[in-house]
Amino acid sequence: MNPPRADQIVKQTFQLSESVENISDWLASNTGLAKGRIKLAMANGAVQCKKPQAKWQRLRRATARLPKGSTIQLFYNPVLLATKPSSPELLE
């Protein structure tokens, strides 16, 4: 798999056939994105998982472990992740 360009949007869904000990390492090896970019995306809520018999939840910890049968969704948009919120203004 070719690594995505720096400005490319990545939307991928994975079904785990075996358990994963470190999700950030696993995503980095299966998506072509750098581990640092994966961690930033996870911290901002761009990675979701659904464990067997459970609801969808955001993965924010890079060291999360997932059991066999889990589904992972990655929504990586570098433009959106680089967006900074504007400064708040005090209303009087």
Task: Report the side by side order of strands in the sheet with 47-50.
Answer: 10-15, 71-76, 47-50, 56-58
Q: Phi and psi of 62, rounded to 5°?
A: -70, -20
Q: Whole-angstrom Cα distance, residue 70 to residue 22?
A: 13
Q: What is the pLDDT along the chain (92 residues), one digit of tens a residue?
A: 566 666 788 899 999 999 999 999 999 999 888 899 899 899 989 999 999 999 999 998 888 899 999 999 999 988 888 888 899 999 98
Domain boundaries in the chain?
Answer: 17-80
Q: Are 70 and 52 in contact (CB under 8 A)?
A: yes
- The CATH T-level fold of domain 17-80 is 3.10.290
CA dihedral 46, 15, 8, 62 (to 10 degrees): 40
pTM of the model: 0.78
Q: How confident is the model over 3-28, as pLDDT tens digits?
A: 666 678 889 999 999 999 999 999 99
